[in-house]
Structure 1
Amino acid sequence: MKSIEAGAAPVKGTQGRRRVVAVLSLLGATLFWAGNYVVGAGAVQSIDPLSLVFLRWTIALVPLLVIAQLVERPSWRSVLAAWPWLLALSVCGLLGYNLLLYFALEHTDAFNASLINAFNPALITLAAAVFLRERLTPLAVAGVLMALAGVLIVISGGNMARLISTGFGTGEVLMVGAIVVWTAYTITGRLAPKIPPITATAVQAAVVVAILGPVRFATGGVALPSTGTVLASLLFIAIFPSVLSYLLWNRALTVLPAAGAGVFLNLITLFTAILTVLAGQVHTAAQLVGGAVVIAGVVVTNAPAFRQQKRTRELPEA
């Protein structure tokens, strides 16, 4: 019996270390995605959104392809056979979402954009119930409504009467559009053939470059970074949230359940708040209260799925 226990201890310890590494990977991924809001808000002051999206995925494309080949070793023939799905995913996700995000950042601040984006998991849950016939529990409905209330607090600045009289701001409307197309991306992804995640991202990046390149050159050319600071911002966006975040996120998913990892997405808003405070931005009470309500609603929405996956989870042995 002692020999069995002694042999089990290293396995348990190894699993514990893998979970710690997975959690750190999720923290890194969400921190870099938060950085995309903050750095992107500065970058769009010098580079138009079309050029920024084109340059971002042009720079990220080569490392994504190399990593996909080294890590996932996909069957490229099978991948290319799914081109209609990949085209749809590219238009909704890497192209549509990022364009709307960067256009939104021309009109609203990074923290506001991240607060609206925090509603996305709840919207995805609602869309999955409508289009995929996934079961929507009363608790999930309550969570969606709570998250929606939080978004309205953020958009209205805490004054619903003003929102009714003046309507939504341009940045807020664009950001709502961004989470709608990302929801379409997510639902489409659940229906599409299963493709290794980094490979899928690399191919979608190639599609975005192929689409935006001719469009941008036909409409005045690509706006290149004019200063070292802008160049550094572009390189950060192209490498950290575009390549490293995907690598870290997918590494974590080999250890942790998807529902458990999904909870970490709420940290994007928290990290964005911290980064913007460090940058000197002052947040309003409506932003803080609304953000807390949104995150609470998202946690409530995803609680049933998280509990179910936690009960059935089996950690891989080392």
Structure 2
Amino acid sequence: MNQRLTPATALLLTLPPLLWAGNAVVGRLVHELAPPMTLNFLRWALAFLILLPLAHRVLRPGSALWPQWRYFAVLGLLGVGCYNALQYLALQTSTPLNVTLVAASVPVWMLAIGAVCFGQRVSRQQILGALLSVAGVLVVLSRGQWALLAQVRLVPGDMYVLLATVCWAFYSWLLAKPAKNPALRQDWAAFLMAQIVFGLGWSGLSAAGEWTLGDPSIAWSWPLALALAYIAVGPAVLAYRCWGLGVQRVGPAVAGFFSNLTPLFAALLSAAFLGELPHPYHALAFALIVGGIVVSAQR
């Protein structure tokens, strides 16, 4: 059963959006240095090496991973093989504004998929929370000027973000399923490693197809190396650990609202890099997004 949203759990679910906002900024900065599918594969290969000393036991033939290989193969496909690969692919052709706008639909997809596929009841509080949260995102995207939203034009790359959002919603609901082997889920490193093992297979196939069908290239450099280190340690290992634990505590529907903090953090990080001070609309957006989280978490 889902627990009440506590300050500690709220902090757990706030850290991933902050790290993922940095991931979007870094992904955009290095989009000309490495092709998207290859970047995703390299990211998770590094995460595998980071977790190997902590979770090497899960790879043994007699571990609890192999009786549940189908479950972890699906988690690896959705969370490792698809989600970030589609985001990196979208950043090749779409604008950050469009990517953030489409990704802002995460809470809506969380509620819809939970109701249709997992038999979860959607309450009025959750619907109201979704509206408040999306309104906060729109305030950030419009910079407090609603006329700017009319200038947004969707491009084919935005469909990759929409597909990534749907994958993430399914992934989060699958995380909340009762564990067949509680011991494996209690070991966070082993649980994440079990997903990465199969995710590397999926992302490896995507990278191989990218190099077979196209003419990609990698510009090895210190900026690319630093970017890989960040996206492997922060948005991969730390963010997935915190997100998984938070989802298990309060459920995917409530956790989904925290994902809308990502565009707010992205706006603040961009402002920091550009040397600009935050504007009043950032405070309004923060209030709306947090208000959506509080309302949706009411019992």
TM range (shorter): 0.7 to 0.9
2:19 corresponds to = 32
- Answer with 104-113 or 200-209: which moved more: 104-113
Amino acid at match of 2:196: A
Change (3 A) 1:240 1:253: same
Per-residue CA distance 1:247-267 (angstroms, 9 max, x = gap): 45567789x756887765444
Equivalent of residue 206 in structure 1, options 188, 192, 197: 197
1:123 to 77, 100, 109: 109
The counterpart of 1:271, out of the listed 265, 286, 299, is 265
State which of 142, 155, 158 in structure 2 corresponds to 1:169: 155
The residue number in structure 1 matching 2:172 is: 186
**Which SS does the other structure have where 1:183 is aligned?**
helix
Which stretch shifts more, 143-152 or 177-186? 143-152
Shift of 1:53: 0.7
Correspondent of 2:123 among 109, 134, 137? 137
- Give the distance between the partners of 1:209 and 1:44, measured in 2 at CA: 20
1:274-313 correspondence runs (5 A): 274-280=268-274, 295=289, 298-299=292-293, 303-304=295-296, 306-308=297-299
Moved more, 208-217 or 235-244: 208-217
TM-score by structure 2 length? 0.73
CA drift of 1:307 comes to 2.9
Give the superposition deviation at 1:279: 2.3
Deviation track 1:114-144 (CA, whole Å, cap 9, x = no partner) reads 4543431332122212222212122322333
Aligned pair in 2 of structure 1 residues 260, 122: CA closer, same or farther (>3 Å)? closer
- Are 1:220 and 2:211 matched, yes or no? yes
* 2:35 is equivalent to residue 77 of structure 1: no
For structure 2, the residue ranges without an aligned partner over 5 or more in a row are 1-5
TM-score (norm 1): 0.69
Among 66, 91, 94, the residue aligned to 2:53: 66
State the one-letter code of the partner of 2:268. I
Deviation at 1:31, TM superposition (A): 2.8
Rounded Cα–Cα distance in structure 1 between residues aligned with 2:263 and 2:65? 34
The Cα of 1:51 is off from its aligned counterpart by: 0.5
* Partners of 1:115 and 1:291 within 8 A in 2: no
1:41 aligns with 2:65: no
Decide whether the 8 Å contact of 1:82 with 1:193 is kept in 2.
Answer: no
Counterpart of 1:276, as a letter, is S
Number of matched pairs: 281
**Aligned match for 1:56, one of 43, 55, 78:** 43
**Contact 1:101 / 1:174 at 8 angstroms: preserved in 2?**
yes
What's the offset of the Cα at 1:79?
1.7
Distance 1:74 1:83 in 2: 13
Percent identity reads: 26
Question: Does the Cα contact within 8 Å between 2:35 and 2:218 map onto a contact in 1?
Answer: no
> For the Cα contact (< 8 Å) 1:61–1:202, is it kept in 2?
yes
Could you say if the C-alpha distance between residues 208 and 174 of structure 1 is closer, same or farther in structure 2, counting changes exceeding 3 Å?
same
Q: Report if the CA contact (8 A) 2:106-2:256 is conserved.
A: no
Equivalent residue number for residue 90 of structure 1: 76
Q: Could you tell me how far 1:26 is from its partner in structure 2?
A: 5.6
Gap runs ≥5 in structure 1: 1-18, 309-318
Letter of the 1:207 partner, please give it: F
Paired residues of 2:104 and 2:134 also in contact (CA < 8 A): no
User: How big is the shift at 1:294?
Assistant: 7.6
Instruction: Find the aligned partners of 1:158 and 1:214 in 2 and give their Cα distance.
Output: 43
Match of 1:106 in 2: 92
Larger Rg, first or second structure (1 or 2): 1
Distance 1:135 1:22, change over 3 A: closer
Once the 2 structures are TM-superposed, how far is the Cα of residue 202 of structure 1 from its aligned partner?
1.4
Aligned residue number for residue 3 of structure 2: none
Secondary structure of the corresponding residue to residue 175 of structure 1: helix
Q: CA RMSD in A?
A: 4.2
